[in-house]
Amino acid sequence: MKPEELLQQLQHHPDFLKLTLAHPDFLPFASYQLENGTQIQIWDTGVIYCLPKQFGTQDIVLSSGVHGNETAPVELCSELLNDVLAEKLLLKERVLFLFGNPPAINAGVREIQDNLNRLFSGHHSKEPGVQSAERERAKKLETYVLKFFDEAPQGLRERKLYDLHTAIRGSRFEKFAVYPFLHGENWSKTQFEFLKACGANTVLLMQTPASTFSYFAAQSCKAHGFTIELGKVRPFGQNDMSRFTQAASALRALISGGELYTTEFNEADFNLYEVRRSINKATEAFTLHFADNIENFTTFDVGTLLASDEGVEYKVEVEGEAIIFPNPKVAIGQRAMLMVKPVSVAGKVS
């Protein structure tokens, strides 16, 4: 597709997701200006930069579709973007919209070959000779995000990346966020308040570096980076979008300068957890010993057998230990489950 053809389609039918899915491997660079003065730049398939004529001090990345079968965040972000392109929503901040894995979105699968959300912070290149479309995409997404932040005006600015997901299984707390490891820095009070405004008052505080998109944003870009889980995986057309109204309203207000309804941070309003241990899949013998409908954040009695692998059993070790992200289908060597426990952030929030 030529840039002029791309622009003609987008200007007549402002649906960037539709264009992305029709051209999942590549879209050429193209740019144009909306009548309200907002500059639109297409950097690649699934990557579109929006620069309003007048903007504030925030640089915001909204990411969805890093896992192709997590459709609700894709629909949510597409609706926000289409309103921008149709001039129904006037931006007041610089925004980069990303639809992470278009081929996987088209196929309705989590990934084509590699888990894209395990390939950031250079992990796309840590196995010499191993190639995949996801590895190339992770490398490009890193480049685009760095470019977006690096080209921001000088001065006191806030960098933010919200990577929106839905989980494979249900959760005791439908919406929750993963806060990347900050290497000893305090957690952000205002970010906790924003997460609560999105309906995600359950937060998992990571304790080690990771290969996720949100950790890349936090450490490589010095941004506020979050993975936000908005519910359970469902196919396109089967999402009850009314369940995402709170998150959609908060994001809309954030990027447009609208009224953002937050309340003063109070730890008692949150369910806070930290990772106690990570259980990796070592062999194809890895098996979970609980039902597929057991939800994230479920606790079991001490001593309960949770999983086994070749020559090893994983049992509940302490009272209150809960499961999250159990997935026996991951590749060998990858995380198959996290064990988490409640935690306090008293004295560690600023």
Provide the strand spans (E) within 255-311: 271-280, 287-288, 305-309
Q: Order of strands across the sheet with 312-315?
A: 287-288, 305-309, 312-315
Strand, coil or helix: what is 150? helix
280 CB neighbour count, 10 Å cutoff: 13
d(CA 256, CA 90): 6
229: annotated active-site residue: yes
Give the chain's count of helices (H) and strands (E). 8, 15
Active-site residue, from 229, 259, 264, 313:
229
- DSSP code, position 48: E
DSSP 49-80: EEE-SS--SEEEEEEE-SSTT-HHHHHHHHHH
Strand, coil or helix: what is 164? strand
| Distance (Å) of CA 253 to CA 122, 229, 263 | 33, 19, 15
d(CA 324, CA 310): 22
238: left (phi over 0), alpha (psi -120 to 50) or beta: alpha
DSSP 198-260: TT--EEEE--S--SSHHHHHHHHS--EEEEEEEEE---TT---GGGGHHHHHHHHHHHHT---
Residues marked as catalytic: 229
